[in-house]
Amino acid sequence: MITPIFEITQESDFLIISIRVPYTRTSEFDLYIDGEDFKFYAKPYFLRLTLPGRIVEDGREKASFDVGKGIFTLRVPKETPGEPFEGLQMLTSLLAPKGSRSAKPLVEETVFSELSGECVAESDEEDFDWEVDQEVQVEITEEELGRLYKYGFGNQRAGIFTRLQDELSDVIDVKSPDSTSAAERRQGRLAAETAKFEPDHYLADLFEDDAVQNVLKYRPWWVEVESKKKIKEEITQGHDGGEGAMFFSEEEKEQLRKFSNKSYLLDKKATHQVWISLVDIILAYVYEVRVTEGEKNVESPWNIRKLSGTLSWLETYNSVQEVLVSFGRRVLCYPLYRHFALIKAAIEDAAVIFELGKVCVLKCLLDIHKVFRENDPAYILNDLYITDYCVWIQKAKSKKVRALTEYLKKATLRKSDLELELDELETAAQLVKVEEEEEDSRQAARYRESIPESDSEEDSEEDDGSSSSSSSSAETDECSSDKEDSLDRLQSCVLEKASPPRAANIPEANPVTQHLDCEAGPRGFPLSQPMPRKLIEELGDQVCSVVRISEQPEGTDSRGCDVVQGERDKPSVQSA
pLDDT-based confidence at residue 436 (cuts at 50, 70, 90): confident
Statement to judge: residues 412 and 518 lie in one domain: no
pLDDT value of residue 501: 45
Statement to judge: residues 342 and 278 lie in one domain: yes
The total of other beta-carbon atoms located within 10 Å of residue 2's CB is: 19
The CA distances from residue 412 to 58, 243, 326, 346, 462, in Å, are: 65, 28, 14, 13, 68
| Residue 442 within a domain | no
More confident residue, 97 or 336: 336
What is the biggest distance separating any 2 CA atoms in the chain, rounded to whole angstroms? 169
pLDDT-based confidence at residue 116 (cuts at 50, 70, 90): very low
The CA distances from residue 383 to 184, 257, 301, 389, 443, in Å, are: 23, 16, 15, 10, 64
pLDDT value of residue 115: 41
pLDDT value of residue 342: 97
pLDDT value of residue 56: 92
Nearest to 47 by CA among 102, 91, 16: 91
pLDDT value of residue 302: 95
Name the 3-class secondary structure at 74: strand
**What's the domain range around 36?**
5-97
Statement to judge: residues 75 and 159 lie in one domain: no
Q: Which of 43-47, 178-182, 360-364, 429-433 tops mean pLDDT? A: 360-364
| Residue 102 within a domain | no
Q: Average pLDDT, stretch 220-225?
A: 91
Query: Considering the entire predicted model, what is its pTM?
Result: 0.62
CATH number at residue 85: 2.60.40.790
Statement to judge: residues 272 and 364 lie in one domain: yes
DSSP, res 385: I
Q: Average pLDDT, stretch 139-150?
A: 65
Q: Average pLDDT, stretch 340-366?
A: 95
| Residue 128 within a domain | no
Q: Which of 90-99, 158-167, 196-205, 428-437 tops mean pLDDT? A: 196-205
pLDDT value of residue 124: 45
Amino acid at 329: R
More confident residue, 258 or 97: 258
Q: Give the number of C-alpha atoms closer than 13 A to the C-alpha of residue 356, restricted to the C-beta side.
A: 28
Distance CA 83, CA 86 (A): 10
Distance CA 550, CA 557 (A): 10
Statement to judge: residues 300 and 400 lie in one domain: yes
pLDDT value of residue 138: 54
pLDDT tens digits along 448-478: 888 765 555 555 555 555 555 455 444 445 4
| Residue 352 within a domain | yes
pLDDT value of residue 228: 78
In this predicted structure, the answer to whether residue 373 has a pLDDT above a threshold of 60 is: yes
pLDDT value of residue 101: 46
Distance CA 548, CA 560 (A): 10
Amino acid at 131: E
Q: Average pLDDT, stretch 323-339?
A: 97
C-beta of residue 167 within 8 angstroms of C-beta of residue 307: no
Q: Which of 105-109, 153-157, 260-264, 453-457 tops mean pLDDT? A: 153-157
Statement to judge: residues 202 and 293 lie in one domain: yes
Q: Give the number of C-alpha atoms closer than 13 A to the C-alpha of residue 110, restricted to the C-beta side.
A: 12
Mark 84-93 as b/e (b = at least 16 C-beta within 10 Å). eeeebeeeee
In this predicted structure, the answer to whether residue 73 has a pLDDT above a threshold of 90 is: yes
Statement to judge: residues 84 and 195 lie in one domain: no
Statement to judge: residues 224 and 311 lie in one domain: yes
Percentage of the chain modeled with pLDDT above 70: 65
In this predicted structure, the answer to whether residue 103 has a pLDDT above a threshold of 90 is: no
Let me know the angle formed at the C-alpha of 146 by 144 and 152, rounded to the nearest 5 degrees. 110
The CA distances from residue 382 to 168, 301, 350, 366, 377, in Å, are: 13, 12, 21, 10, 10
| Residue 143 within a domain | no
| Residue 434 within a domain | no
In this predicted structure, the answer to whether residue 172 has a pLDDT above a threshold of 80 is: yes
Cis ω for the linkage preceding 377 (within 30 of 0): yes
pLDDT value of residue 143: 58
Nearest to 576 by CA among 485, 480, 518, 490: 490
pLDDT tens digits along 267-320: 999 999 999 999 999 999 999 999 999 999 999 999 999 999 999 999 999 999
Q: Average pLDDT, stretch 253-270?
A: 88
Name the 3-class secondary structure at 149: coil
In this predicted structure, the answer to whether residue 558 has a pLDDT above a threshold of 50 is: no
**Least confident span in 161-175, 237-251, 254-268, 463-477:** 463-477
Nearest to 301 by CA among 418, 236, 386: 386
pLDDT value of residue 147: 67
pLDDT-based confidence at residue 166 (cuts at 50, 70, 90): low
Statement to judge: residues 341 and 420 lie in one domain: yes
Total length of the chain: 576
The CA distances from residue 159 to 22, 138, 183, 329, in Å, are: 12, 12, 18, 29
**Least confident span in 57-66, 72-81, 86-95, 219-228:** 86-95
In this predicted structure, the answer to whether residue 119 has a pLDDT above a threshold of 60 is: no
Statement to judge: residues 70 and 168 lie in one domain: no
420: which residues sit within 8 A by CB, 6+ positions away? 194, 197, 329, 332
Last residue of a domain, one of 386, 410, 427: 427
pLDDT value of residue 542: 57
In this predicted structure, the answer to whether residue 506 has a pLDDT above a threshold of 50 is: no
pLDDT value of residue 449: 80
Statement to judge: residues 218 and 336 lie in one domain: yes
Tell how far CA 563 is from the center of its chain. Answer: 91
| Residue 463 within a domain | no
Kindly give the interhelix angle for 358-373 and 250-258, rounded to the nearest 10 degrees: 80
Distance CA 485, CA 480 (A): 9
pLDDT value of residue 463: 52
User: Long-range contacts of range 374-377, CB-CB < 8 Å, 24 or more positions apart?
Assistant: 375/301, 376/25, 376/43, 377/43, 377/44, 377/167, 377/168, 377/170, 377/171
208: which residues sit within 8 A by CB, 6+ positions away? none
In this predicted structure, the answer to whether residue 145 has a pLDDT above a threshold of 50 is: yes
Distance CA 92, CA 85 (A): 16
| Residue 471 within a domain | no
User: Long-range contacts of range 33-40, CB-CB < 8 Å, 24 or more positions apart?
Assistant: 33/57, 33/61, 33/76, 35/79, 36/98, 37/98, 38/76, 40/4, 40/72, 40/74
Statement to judge: residues 159 and 84 lie in one domain: no
Output the average pLDDT for the chain. Answer: 76
Mark 41-56 as b/e (b = at least 16 C-beta within 10 Å). bbbbbbbbbbbbbebe
pLDDT-based confidence at residue 216 (cuts at 50, 70, 90): very high
Q: How many domains does the chain have?
A: 3
Distance CA 292, CA 215 (A): 8
DSSP 493-513: HHHHHTS-GGGGGSPPPPHHH
Distance CA 296, CA 298 (A): 7
pLDDT value of residue 293: 93
